Amino acid sequence: MNGEDRFAGALFSTLRGIFRLALGRLDAFREFGNTPAAFSASIAPLIAFPMVGAALLAARGHWIYAAGLMLSRLCGVLIQPVIIERASHWLGRRDRWLITATALNWSIWVVFVLIPLGMVVNDILLALGAGQVGALTLSGGLIALYMLWLQGFVLRAGLQTSWWKALGLLFVVNLSTAALYAVPYVFHPGLLSLTLRPASG
């Protein structure tokens, strides 16, 4: 098997794994490798996104803000596998942390399928007479609840633990990530509008 065939095989296996994770199937984990290479492949896109965003901000002359934003995002991405690795020791599942962290990284991409579905739900609710705010709240809330369930499922099945422990771990992971993401905005409250402002502005 040449390099292109291996790449295609790994790509299709990853896509199958993401699809099965979205359905809550335990066999999804078979599609992800329990190796450092598989973990690196799963986290690379999550690292690339904040780097691109920071580069765009830096290109507009805001180097310090771009550096702070990139560092907070990188720390937010990297803190998750660190917490999972420590939790795997505590739970006696040290051999499962890599595949769990890998699956959790890939599961995040499900949200890009849910967003257009949420827009369809939002349009249906508007057609039924729901207000704009109510429709957005409901459709957005459903997406958020599903993603929390999906992450909880990955942690529970990946580390082979109970739902209560998985939910506790999920709380720690998300709280830690949110705290790290919020750091630049605490020191520079106007950073959000600066980030979202069009380049021409």
N residues, the chain: 201
CA 51 to chain centre: 16
157-193 tens-digit pLDDT: 999 999 999 999 999 999 999 999 888 777 776 666 6
Percent pLDDT > 70 in the chain is 91
CA distance 59 to 12: 36
Residue pLDDT, tens place only, 104-135: 999 999 999 998 988 888 888 888 877 888 88
pLDDT tens for 68-102 read: 888 888 999 999 999 999 999 999 999 999 999 99
50 neighbors 74 (Cβ within 8 angstroms)? yes
95 burial via Cβ count (<10 Å: 0-12, 13-18, 19+): exposed
Q: Are 101 and 85 in contact (CB under 8 A)?
A: yes
- For residue 194 the two structure tokens come to 């600066």
Number of H helices, E strands in the chain: 8, 0
Angle formed at CA 151 by CA 196 and CA 101, multiple of 5 degrees = 95
Q: Give per-residue pLDDT as tens, 42-62.
A: 999 999 888 887 787 777 777
CA 116 to chain centre: 17
pTM for the model: 0.85
Residues 6+ apart with CB under 8 A from 122: 135, 136, 138, 139
Dist. CA 103–CA 155, nearest whole Å: 9
**What is the spatial distance between Cα 97 and Cα 87, in angstroms, rounded to a whole number?**
8
Confidence check: pLDDT of 151 > 90? yes
Ordered by start, the domain boundaries in the chain are: 3-196
